Structure 1
């Protein structure tokens, strides 16, 4: 059975009109600019990532939070488009038309005669088309300088891999040489890339697990009337070991 395609036109138009009203009648919304909204865009993106981390693909648990955070990010998109419209630059229809046309152009294996045997070939074609569109001379042009280091590493590795290039291993002692440490971290990201893993997601998951472990160790110590900030490391290690021993600590 073909899945029903949702009709979003009416609800989306109602939302666009709401944002226009806020922009006109709310003093705070009226004074915002593209620049002033930057921190809110980042905040909403990170909150969406948090909701995605908590979302269970199998059961759908967390769907309400995910839906809410997607809405918050959509607000940012519509708000920026409204500001641009007020400035006479472009509107939301231009944004939608642009992304529609771009996606059609970058999927020639769907809308054209190009054959893509697997997702890897899709990405290679995507990068090639994008480079031609932007008139870029290097395969590495266009990687945002604001990307977190690990995400930037993955992008560089993927594009360099398309050229048959890969980083050398670390030279020197990573414990004393920052350059060697950086090379080691890049090598780990390269290993993840070669194995089809997302290093950013892997590290985020490890940080989340360690965060839960620390909080549980703090809670166990608090039950005994102990503040881990005020004790020897051996005591802290004792509570960490206890936290690790609990079921589901990860």
Structure 2
């Protein structure tokens, strides 16, 4: 490695190959395999998303580097087994992006983002048909967060015509599932019915063009913000308060939050 040259993807691949060297490499890196590294890959993707949400561009740069390392790490392990290498990964994604953008690299037409998305999905569907698993649901990763995966497989199913005709049907299904949760008589049945209820809620979110994963993430943040405000108001004695007192605190926090939002909106209009 030339210390005077600017590092590039080849430099990173060389570093990883050295770390994985069975004789002179790092003991920790050497003993890893695809399964042991996969959780780190997922974690790094979430850290990229977190940096974006916080609008922290310095962190984003670092986290993207960590995520890139994961790609190189997996590619190096595959190369050692003679399956594929980093260049194959790069070649594959370049070919895929070219194939899926015929309006840019071919003779296709797309005049807005919706048309691009529709064309993309049609091309992916044709690719699935060419594979052994031609299911409309093929390729939706099982490791995705459950809400996100539910939304994706619902969209795939809807593209085949298997869908509610309108949002009323999706909404009615939620009430039906609530009744089935209430009628459950065992732990296993309750788990199954609650899963169906969550799936139905995701379906309604999809009809409203709401991303279920983002909606729940926002709800989590809102609950945490309000709960912390309750703790701050009550101090160390929060856990000792009665449920009625806690509910009063909750309503107080909500009221203050609503007033603050109204004031902010009023200022923005002036």
TM bin, normalised by shorter chain, reads 0.7 to 0.9
Cα distance in 1 for partners of 2:198, 2:116 equals 27
SS in 2 for 1:165: coil
Q: Is the 8 A contact 1:44 1:72 kept in 2?
A: yes
For normalisation by structure 1, the TM-score amounts to 0.80
What displacement does 1:158 show?
2.0
Structure with greater helix percent: 2
Cα distance in 1 for partners of 2:111, 2:199 equals 29
What displacement does 1:98 show?
0.5
Q: How many residues align?
A: 231
Cα distance in 1 for partners of 2:111, 2:197 equals 33
Cα distance in 1 for partners of 2:176, 2:209 equals 28
Decide which moves more: 156-165 or 73-82: 156-165
Q: Is the 8 A contact 1:124 1:162 kept in 2?
A: no
Cα distance in 1 for partners of 2:35, 2:82 equals 17
What displacement does 1:160 show?
2.7
Residues 26/181 of structure 1: CA separation in 2 closer, same or farther (3 Å cut) = closer
Higher Cα Rg: structure 1 or 2? 2
Q: Which residue of 1 aligns with 2:176?
A: 172
Q: Which residue of 1 aligns with 2:241?
A: 231
Q: Is the 8 A contact 1:172 1:180 kept in 2?
A: no
Decide which moves more: 12-21 or 172-181: 172-181
Q: Is the 8 A contact 1:127 1:159 kept in 2?
A: no
Instruction: Report matched runs for 1:209-224 at 5 Å.
Output: 209-222=222-235
Q: Which residue of 1 aligns with 2:186?
A: none
- Establish whether residue 95 from structure 1 lines up as the match of residue 89 from structure 2: yes
Cα distance in 2 for partners of 1:190, 1:68 equals 36
Q: Which residue of 1 aligns with 2:137?
A: 140
Q: Is the 8 A contact 2:33 2:77 kept in 1?
A: yes
Instruction: Report matched runs for 1:49-88 at 5 Å.
Output: 49-55=49-55, 62-88=56-82
Q: Deviations over 1:7-46 (max 9, x none)?
A: xx84322222222222232110111111111221222222
- Which of 224, 241, 244 pairs up with 2:251? 241
Cα distance in 1 for partners of 2:72, 2:139 equals 24
Cα distance in 1 for partners of 2:241, 2:44 equals 38
Cα distance in 1 for partners of 2:217, 2:208 equals 18
Q: Which residue of 1 aligns with 2:219?
A: 206
Q: Is the 8 A contact 2:177 2:197 kept in 1?
A: no
